[in-house]
Chains A and B, each alone.
Chain A
Amino acid sequence: MVGPLIPMGVIPETWNNVIALLLGGGFGFALEASGFSSSRKIMGTFFGYDFVVLRVFFTAAVTAMTGILYFDYMGWMDASMLYINPYYVMSAIVGGIIMGMGFALGGFCPGTSFCGIAIGKIDAMFFTAGLFIGVFIFSELYPLFEGMYNSRNLGGVKIYELLGMRETVFAFLLIVAAVGMFYGAGFVEKKVRKVEY
Protein backbone atom coordinates (compact mmCIF):
# COMPACT_ATOMS: atom_id res chain seq x y z
CA MET A 1 0.00 0.00 0.00
CA VAL A 2 1.46 3.30 -1.07
CA GLY A 3 1.31 5.96 1.60
CA PRO A 4 0.24 8.36 2.91
CA LEU A 5 -2.77 6.08 3.33
CA ILE A 6 -5.59 8.48 4.25
CA PRO A 7 -4.79 11.16 1.61
CA MET A 8 -4.41 8.34 -0.96
CA GLY A 9 -7.87 7.11 0.00
CA VAL A 10 -6.62 3.69 1.12
CA ILE A 11 -8.16 4.07 4.59
CA PRO A 12 -11.63 5.62 4.76
CA GLU A 13 -11.86 8.84 6.75
CA THR A 14 -14.27 7.23 9.23
CA TRP A 15 -11.24 5.58 10.82
CA ASN A 16 -9.59 8.93 11.43
CA ASN A 17 -10.46 9.32 15.10
CA VAL A 18 -9.59 5.74 16.03
CA ILE A 19 -6.22 6.11 14.31
CA ALA A 20 -5.69 9.44 16.10
CA LEU A 21 -6.33 7.80 19.46
CA LEU A 22 -3.94 4.93 18.73
CA LEU A 23 -1.11 7.09 17.39
CA GLY A 24 -1.60 9.56 20.25
CA GLY A 25 -1.44 6.61 22.63
CA GLY A 26 1.91 5.55 21.21
CA PHE A 27 3.13 9.15 21.40
CA GLY A 28 2.06 9.52 25.03
CA PHE A 29 3.51 6.16 26.04
CA ALA A 30 6.90 6.88 24.43
CA LEU A 31 7.06 10.33 26.06
CA GLU A 32 6.08 9.18 29.55
CA ALA A 33 8.23 6.05 29.52
CA SER A 34 11.22 8.19 28.51
CA GLY A 35 10.65 10.55 31.46
CA PHE A 36 8.95 13.51 29.76
CA SER A 37 6.25 13.66 32.43
CA SER A 38 8.82 15.20 34.80
CA SER A 39 9.71 18.86 34.32
CA ARG A 40 12.89 18.48 36.35
CA LYS A 41 14.07 15.64 34.12
CA ILE A 42 13.24 17.69 31.02
CA MET A 43 15.14 20.73 32.33
CA GLY A 44 18.24 18.58 32.80
CA THR A 45 19.05 19.16 29.13
CA PHE A 46 19.49 22.88 29.73
CA PHE A 47 21.62 22.52 32.85
CA GLY A 48 23.59 19.50 31.69
CA TYR A 49 22.62 17.00 34.38
CA ASP A 50 20.31 14.85 32.20
CA PHE A 51 20.20 14.99 28.40
CA VAL A 52 17.19 12.73 27.96
CA VAL A 53 15.29 15.36 25.94
CA LEU A 54 18.17 15.83 23.50
CA ARG A 55 18.59 12.07 23.05
CA VAL A 56 14.92 11.20 22.63
CA PHE A 57 14.09 14.22 20.47
CA PHE A 58 16.92 13.83 17.97
CA THR A 59 16.70 10.02 17.85
CA ALA A 60 12.98 10.34 17.07
CA ALA A 61 13.50 13.00 14.41
CA VAL A 62 16.27 11.04 12.70
CA THR A 63 14.29 7.77 12.85
CA ALA A 64 11.17 9.30 11.31
CA MET A 65 13.19 11.22 8.72
CA THR A 66 15.09 8.09 7.66
CA GLY A 67 11.85 6.09 7.41
CA ILE A 68 10.25 8.73 5.23
CA LEU A 69 13.30 9.05 2.95
CA TYR A 70 13.55 5.26 2.61
CA PHE A 71 9.84 4.69 1.93
CA ASP A 72 9.86 7.51 -0.62
CA TYR A 73 12.96 6.09 -2.33
CA MET A 74 11.41 2.62 -2.49
CA GLY A 75 8.19 4.05 -3.88
CA TRP A 76 6.16 2.94 -0.84
CA MET A 77 5.14 6.46 0.05
CA ASP A 78 4.79 9.68 -1.92
CA ALA A 79 6.66 12.10 0.34
CA SER A 80 5.61 15.03 -1.83
CA MET A 81 2.09 14.57 -0.45
CA LEU A 82 3.19 15.12 3.15
CA TYR A 83 2.13 18.36 4.82
CA ILE A 84 4.93 20.89 5.26
CA ASN A 85 4.36 23.85 7.58
CA PRO A 86 4.75 27.10 5.62
CA TYR A 87 7.80 29.08 6.69
CA TYR A 88 6.87 32.58 7.81
CA VAL A 89 10.37 33.78 8.65
CA MET A 90 9.67 36.33 11.40
CA SER A 91 6.71 34.62 13.01
CA ALA A 92 8.49 31.25 13.25
CA ILE A 93 11.51 32.77 15.00
CA VAL A 94 9.58 35.07 17.33
CA GLY A 95 7.21 32.21 18.21
CA GLY A 96 10.16 29.93 18.94
CA ILE A 97 11.80 32.50 21.22
CA ILE A 98 8.56 33.04 23.18
CA MET A 99 8.12 29.27 23.49
CA GLY A 100 11.68 28.90 24.74
CA MET A 101 11.00 31.41 27.49
CA GLY A 102 7.83 29.50 28.39
CA PHE A 103 9.83 26.28 28.41
CA ALA A 104 12.39 27.72 30.86
CA LEU A 105 9.66 28.99 33.19
CA GLY A 106 7.25 26.07 32.94
CA GLY A 107 9.55 23.10 32.34
CA PHE A 108 7.11 21.52 29.91
CA CYS A 109 5.97 21.88 26.33
CA PRO A 110 2.35 21.18 25.40
CA GLY A 111 2.78 17.48 24.59
CA THR A 112 4.83 16.74 27.69
CA SER A 113 2.44 18.67 29.94
CA PHE A 114 -0.37 16.35 28.78
CA CYS A 115 1.85 13.43 29.83
CA GLY A 116 2.41 15.08 33.20
CA ILE A 117 -1.34 15.45 33.66
CA ALA A 118 -1.84 11.78 32.77
CA ILE A 119 0.21 10.72 35.81
CA GLY A 120 -1.13 13.38 38.19
CA LYS A 121 1.37 16.25 38.07
CA ILE A 122 -0.43 19.33 39.36
CA ASP A 123 2.25 21.63 37.90
CA ALA A 124 1.49 20.14 34.45
CA MET A 125 -2.19 20.99 34.97
CA PHE A 126 -1.26 24.61 35.70
CA PHE A 127 1.00 24.68 32.64
CA THR A 128 -1.84 23.40 30.44
CA ALA A 129 -4.24 25.95 31.93
CA GLY A 130 -1.65 28.56 30.95
CA LEU A 131 -1.65 27.20 27.38
CA PHE A 132 -5.37 27.84 27.04
CA ILE A 133 -5.00 31.36 28.43
CA GLY A 134 -2.06 32.04 26.11
CA VAL A 135 -3.91 30.90 23.00
CA PHE A 136 -6.90 32.99 24.08
CA ILE A 137 -4.73 36.10 24.60
CA PHE A 138 -3.05 35.63 21.22
CA SER A 139 -6.39 35.24 19.46
CA GLU A 140 -7.93 38.29 21.15
CA LEU A 141 -4.89 40.45 20.40
CA TYR A 142 -4.45 39.03 16.90
CA PRO A 143 -4.99 42.39 15.13
CA LEU A 144 -1.79 43.61 16.84
CA PHE A 145 0.23 40.62 15.64
CA GLU A 146 -1.37 40.10 12.24
CA GLY A 147 1.29 42.01 10.30
CA MET A 148 4.16 39.95 11.62
CA TYR A 149 2.14 36.71 11.64
CA ASN A 150 1.63 36.96 7.89
CA SER A 151 4.90 38.60 6.85
CA ARG A 152 7.58 36.96 4.70
CA ASN A 153 5.95 33.67 3.80
CA LEU A 154 8.38 31.36 2.01
CA GLY A 155 5.78 28.59 1.74
CA GLY A 156 6.44 24.93 2.53
CA VAL A 157 10.15 25.22 1.85
CA LYS A 158 12.60 22.49 2.93
CA ILE A 159 15.73 23.33 4.89
CA TYR A 160 18.06 21.81 2.28
CA GLU A 161 16.45 23.90 -0.47
CA LEU A 162 17.07 26.99 1.61
CA LEU A 163 20.71 25.98 2.06
CA GLY A 164 21.10 24.86 -1.56
CA MET A 165 22.04 21.31 -0.57
CA ARG A 166 20.91 17.90 -1.73
CA GLU A 167 18.32 16.26 0.51
CA THR A 168 20.38 13.15 1.20
CA VAL A 169 23.50 15.18 1.99
CA PHE A 170 21.61 17.26 4.53
CA ALA A 171 20.01 14.15 6.04
CA PHE A 172 23.41 12.52 6.40
CA LEU A 173 24.90 15.64 8.04
CA LEU A 174 21.94 15.79 10.44
CA ILE A 175 22.56 12.19 11.52
CA VAL A 176 26.27 12.92 12.02
CA ALA A 177 25.37 16.04 14.05
CA ALA A 178 22.93 14.03 16.19
CA VAL A 179 25.54 11.35 16.96
CA GLY A 180 28.05 14.10 17.74
CA MET A 181 25.61 15.71 20.18
CA PHE A 182 24.89 12.36 21.87
CA TYR A 183 28.60 11.85 22.37
CA GLY A 184 29.03 15.41 23.70
CA ALA A 185 26.04 15.00 26.01
CA GLY A 186 27.56 11.95 27.66
CA PHE A 187 30.77 13.88 28.18
CA VAL A 188 29.01 16.87 29.79
CA GLU A 189 26.84 14.66 32.03
CA LYS A 190 30.00 13.17 33.54
CA LYS A 191 31.35 16.64 34.35
CA VAL A 192 28.19 18.15 35.79
CA ARG A 193 27.17 17.59 39.39
CA LYS A 194 24.15 15.30 39.62
CA VAL A 195 20.85 16.85 40.59
CA GLU A 196 18.46 14.73 42.63
CA TYR A 197 14.85 14.86 41.50
Chain B
Amino acid sequence: MKPAPKPTPETQPFWDGTAAGELRIQRCRACERHYFYPRPNCPRCGGDQVEWVRASGRATLYSYVINHRPAPGFADEAPYAIAVVELEEGVRMMTNIVGVENVPDKLPLDMELRVVFEQRGDVHVPLFEPAGGAR
Protein backbone atom coordinates (compact mmCIF):
# COMPACT_ATOMS: atom_id res chain seq x y z
CA MET B 1 0.00 0.00 0.00
CA LYS B 2 1.24 3.47 -0.83
CA PRO B 3 2.00 5.62 2.22
CA ALA B 4 -0.86 7.87 3.31
CA PRO B 5 -0.22 11.16 5.07
CA LYS B 6 -1.66 11.73 8.52
CA PRO B 7 -2.84 15.32 8.97
CA THR B 8 -1.78 17.43 11.93
CA PRO B 9 -3.67 20.47 13.24
CA GLU B 10 -1.71 22.97 11.16
CA THR B 11 -2.03 20.90 7.97
CA GLN B 12 -5.67 19.83 8.38
CA PRO B 13 -7.05 22.67 6.19
CA PHE B 14 -4.77 21.53 3.38
CA TRP B 15 -6.07 17.96 3.59
CA ASP B 16 -9.67 19.16 4.01
CA GLY B 17 -9.09 20.98 0.72
CA THR B 18 -7.79 17.97 -1.15
CA ALA B 19 -10.74 15.92 0.12
CA ALA B 20 -13.03 18.57 -1.38
CA GLY B 21 -11.14 18.46 -4.68
CA GLU B 22 -9.37 21.75 -4.04
CA LEU B 23 -5.70 22.59 -3.67
CA ARG B 24 -5.62 25.03 -0.78
CA ILE B 25 -2.48 26.88 0.23
CA GLN B 26 -1.75 29.73 2.57
CA ARG B 27 -1.33 33.40 1.78
CA CYS B 28 0.01 36.22 3.93
CA ARG B 29 -2.38 39.16 4.15
CA ALA B 30 0.46 41.55 4.98
CA CYS B 31 2.96 40.78 2.22
CA GLU B 32 0.39 39.17 -0.10
CA ARG B 33 2.64 36.22 -0.90
CA HIS B 34 1.57 32.59 -1.03
CA TYR B 35 3.53 29.97 0.84
CA PHE B 36 3.72 26.23 1.36
CA TYR B 37 4.06 23.97 3.49
CA PRO B 38 1.30 24.75 6.01
CA ARG B 39 2.37 26.77 9.05
CA PRO B 40 0.85 29.50 11.17
CA ASN B 41 3.15 32.34 10.14
CA CYS B 42 4.45 33.87 6.94
CA PRO B 43 8.04 32.75 6.32
CA ARG B 44 8.86 35.96 4.46
CA CYS B 45 7.63 38.76 6.71
CA GLY B 46 6.95 36.82 9.90
CA GLY B 47 3.35 38.00 10.03
CA ASP B 48 0.63 35.77 11.48
CA GLN B 49 -2.27 37.32 9.57
CA VAL B 50 -2.45 34.47 7.12
CA GLU B 51 -5.36 32.90 5.26
CA TRP B 52 -6.15 29.77 3.31
CA VAL B 53 -6.93 30.28 -0.37
CA ARG B 54 -7.74 27.97 -3.24
CA ALA B 55 -4.85 27.60 -5.68
CA SER B 56 -5.68 27.45 -9.37
CA GLY B 57 -4.22 23.96 -9.62
CA ARG B 58 -2.07 25.03 -12.56
CA ALA B 59 1.62 24.27 -12.24
CA THR B 60 4.80 23.66 -14.18
CA LEU B 61 7.33 20.87 -13.83
CA TYR B 62 10.34 22.23 -11.89
CA SER B 63 12.49 19.10 -11.53
CA TYR B 64 12.27 15.36 -10.96
CA VAL B 65 13.99 12.00 -10.74
CA ILE B 66 12.74 8.73 -12.18
CA ASN B 67 12.99 6.18 -9.39
CA HIS B 68 13.95 2.64 -10.38
CA ARG B 69 13.81 1.18 -6.83
CA PRO B 70 10.13 1.43 -5.94
CA ALA B 71 8.87 2.34 -2.49
CA PRO B 72 6.28 0.00 -0.91
CA GLY B 73 3.06 0.29 -2.91
CA PHE B 74 4.78 1.66 -6.00
CA ALA B 75 6.07 -1.59 -7.54
CA ASP B 76 3.46 -1.60 -10.32
CA GLU B 77 4.46 1.87 -11.43
CA ALA B 78 8.26 1.60 -11.37
CA PRO B 79 10.15 3.32 -12.75
CA TYR B 80 8.15 6.37 -11.71
CA ALA B 81 8.85 10.07 -11.49
CA ILE B 82 9.13 11.84 -8.15
CA ALA B 83 8.66 15.45 -9.10
CA VAL B 84 8.69 18.95 -7.70
CA VAL B 85 6.18 21.26 -9.34
CA GLU B 86 5.83 25.02 -9.15
CA LEU B 87 2.28 26.23 -8.70
CA GLU B 88 1.05 29.25 -10.58
CA GLU B 89 1.01 31.00 -7.18
CA GLY B 90 4.79 30.61 -6.94
CA VAL B 91 5.11 27.85 -4.33
CA ARG B 92 6.58 24.42 -4.93
CA MET B 93 5.60 20.95 -3.75
CA MET B 94 6.63 17.38 -4.28
CA THR B 95 4.25 15.13 -6.20
CA ASN B 96 3.91 12.39 -8.81
CA ILE B 97 3.12 12.96 -12.47
CA VAL B 98 0.23 10.90 -13.82
CA GLY B 99 -1.49 10.61 -17.17
CA VAL B 100 1.77 10.49 -19.10
CA GLU B 101 4.47 7.88 -19.47
CA ASN B 102 7.18 8.65 -16.88
CA VAL B 103 10.16 8.75 -19.23
CA PRO B 104 12.53 11.71 -19.78
CA ASP B 105 11.28 12.39 -23.34
CA LYS B 106 7.71 12.81 -22.13
CA LEU B 107 8.62 14.94 -19.12
CA PRO B 108 10.35 18.11 -20.31
CA LEU B 109 11.03 20.59 -17.51
CA ASP B 110 8.59 23.49 -17.37
CA MET B 111 5.79 21.48 -19.03
CA GLU B 112 2.36 22.68 -17.97
CA LEU B 113 0.45 20.59 -15.47
CA ARG B 114 -2.80 20.59 -13.56
CA VAL B 115 -3.72 19.06 -10.24
CA VAL B 116 -5.73 15.85 -9.78
CA PHE B 117 -6.35 13.98 -6.54
CA GLU B 118 -5.82 10.37 -5.54
CA GLN B 119 -7.43 8.77 -2.51
CA ARG B 120 -5.08 7.13 0.01
CA GLY B 121 -7.00 5.71 2.93
CA ASP B 122 -8.85 8.65 4.46
CA VAL B 123 -6.76 11.25 2.70
CA HIS B 124 -6.56 12.57 -0.87
CA VAL B 125 -3.09 13.44 -2.13
CA PRO B 126 -2.49 15.97 -4.89
CA LEU B 127 -0.92 14.59 -8.07
CA PHE B 128 -0.37 16.39 -11.36
CA GLU B 129 -1.12 15.50 -14.97
CA PRO B 130 -0.35 17.26 -18.25
CA ALA B 131 -2.43 20.43 -18.55
CA GLY B 132 -4.10 19.16 -21.72
CA GLY B 133 -5.26 16.02 -19.92
CA ALA B 134 -3.90 12.50 -19.88
CA ARG B 135 -1.79 11.57 -22.92
Q: Do A and B bind each other?
A: no
Q: Which residues of B contact A (CB under 8 A)?
A: none
Q: Which residues of A contact B (CB under 8 A)?
A: none
